[in-house]
């Protein structure tokens, strides 16, 4: 079918959420879709739940990851190989689509069909749609610079891809434990021949779950995974940057992780030893990759001021990030 769309869903131990996600697909007013679900070795009863939906609706198909490495990137790439749609939408196994999502997006895409991808607004929720006001809106420009700074203008569900193009990009980089979609979008925006459209006035029609129970990980596991993603992003992306503006901007990715590290360890959880451990690794990485990109003295100064309580001052983080990316 001309406007057939494949929704690719990696799934791992999402039994509490996956049924609601698949219901949001079945309830779509647009009928020409398939759901390609790739299980990542679940140990709960999520596979039983998914199989029940497969029996209910032939458009839903379940595959299992049969190769390493484990993780969402591998599962999404397996899904890409199985997908038959002209268009691709990536959906996590605990997120939701509004009923008109596919219909509205494909209607707009049909008016501008020759792009490589199309970007729409995405909302967030905790327990149900409407309980969070946070929205990704792809407005403005300088999207590449914003991704490098980790001022993310959109997320993985915001984008509908032309399947031919995302296959040309070779899909997701399986080295990434976190920032998989950030890396993919950065790589696409670095492509000088890329063509895309954004729809900043389009109301949010896909919703990212920010429930704290969704990951099943403690603070150390979350920060370790995020740290590995950030360091991989820095290592792989920095050599691809051509302009001084781009090279300065990537400091923002370091800054955002250190801010998360500071806040989680020094404010929320009083995990000072964990902060020391992870921060040492970040500093060691910067020392092993000497470059004027990574302004070590500013990073150390920022952490020093943060420990002194300057984070309580309105605009402190914004000002420090601005100085780091100058």
Cα 44 from Cα 41, distance rounded (Å): 9
Specify the pairing of strand 117-120 against strand 5-11. unpaired
Q: What is the domain count for the chain?
A: 2
Q: Are residues 91 and 157 in the same domain?
A: yes
SS3 labels along 229-248: HHHHHHHHHHHHCCCHHHHH
Cα 267 from Cα 311, distance rounded (Å): 10
Q: Are residues 91 and 174 in the same domain?
A: yes
pLDDT in tens, 58-106: 999 999 998 889 999 999 999 999 999 999 999 999 999 999 999 999 9
Half-sphere exposure of 282 (CA within 13 A, CB side): 29
Q: Are residues 96 and 224 in the same domain?
A: no
pLDDT in tens, 170-200: 999 999 989 999 999 999 999 999 999 999 9
Domain at 122, CATH number:
3.90.550.10
Q: Are residues 20 and 152 in the same domain?
A: yes
Q: Are residues 138 and 248 in the same domain?
A: no
Boundary (domain end) residue, out of 184, 209, 234? 209
Q: Are residues 55 and 201 in the same domain?
A: yes
Q: Is the N-terminal amide bond of 69 cis, ω within 30° of 0?
A: yes
pLDDT in tens, 143-166: 999 999 999 999 999 999 999 999
User: Contact at 8 Å (CB) between 137 and 121?
Assistant: yes
pTM, 2 dp: 0.93
User: Contact at 8 Å (CB) between 73 and 184?
Assistant: no
Report pLDDT for 163: 97
Boundary (domain end) residue, out of 169, 186, 209? 209
Q: Are residues 119 and 248 in the same domain?
A: no
Q: Are residues 223 and 83 in the same domain?
A: no
Model confidence at 291, in pLDDT bands (50, 70, 90)? low
Model confidence at 2, in pLDDT bands (50, 70, 90)? confident
Instruction: Give me the percent of the chain exceeding a pLDDT of 70.
Output: 97
pLDDT of residue 264 exceeding 80: yes
Cβ within 8 Å of residue 244, ≥6 positions away: none
Phi-psi region of 179 (alpha: psi -120 to 50; beta: other; left: phi over 0): left
Boundary (domain end) residue, out of 179, 209, 239? 209
Cα 186 from Cα 191, distance rounded (Å): 9
Model confidence at 290, in pLDDT bands (50, 70, 90)? low
- Residue 181, domain extent: 5-209
């Amino acid at each position: 079918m001309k406007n057939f769309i494949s929704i690719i869903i990696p799934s791992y131990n999402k039994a509490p959420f996956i049924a609601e996600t698949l219901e949001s697909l079945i309830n779509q007013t647009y009928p020409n879709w398939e759901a390609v679900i790739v299980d990542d070795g679940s140990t709960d009863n999520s596979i039983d739940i998914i199989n029940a939906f497969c029996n209910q609706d032939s458009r839903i198909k379940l595959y299992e990851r049969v190769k390493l490495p484990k993780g969402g990137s591998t599962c999404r790439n397996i899904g890409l190989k199985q997908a038959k749609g002209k268009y691709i939408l990536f959906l996590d196994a605990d997120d939701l689509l509004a009923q008109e999502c596919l219909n509205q997006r494909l209607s707009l895409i049909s008016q501008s069909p020759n792009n490589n991808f199309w970007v729409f607004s995405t909302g967030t929720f905790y327990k149900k749609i409407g309980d969070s006001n946070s929205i990704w809106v792809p407005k403005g420009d300088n999207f590449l610079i914003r991704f490098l700074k980790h001022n993310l203008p959109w997320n993985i569900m915001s984008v509908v891809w032309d399947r031919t193009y995302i296959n040309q990009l070779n899909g997701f980089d399986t080295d990434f434990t976190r920032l998989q979609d950030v890396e993919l979008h950065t790589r696409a925006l670095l492509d000088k021949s890329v063509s895309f459209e954004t729809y900043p006035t389009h109301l949010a029609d896909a919703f990212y779950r920010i429930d704290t129970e969704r990951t099943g990980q403690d603070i150390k596991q979350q920060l370790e995974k995020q740290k590995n993603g950030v360091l991989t992003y820095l290592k792989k992306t920095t050599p691809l940057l051509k302009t001084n503006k781009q090279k300065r901007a990537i400091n923002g990715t370091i800054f955002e992780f250190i801010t998360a590290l500071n806040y989680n360890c020094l404010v929320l959880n009083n995990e000072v030893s964990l902060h020391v451990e992870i921060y040492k690794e970040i500093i060691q990485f910067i020392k092993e990759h000497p470059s004027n990109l990574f302004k070590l003295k500013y990073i150390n100064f920022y952490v020093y001021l943060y420990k002194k309580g300057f984070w309580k001052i309105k605009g402190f983080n914004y000002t420090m990030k601005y100085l780091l990316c100058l």
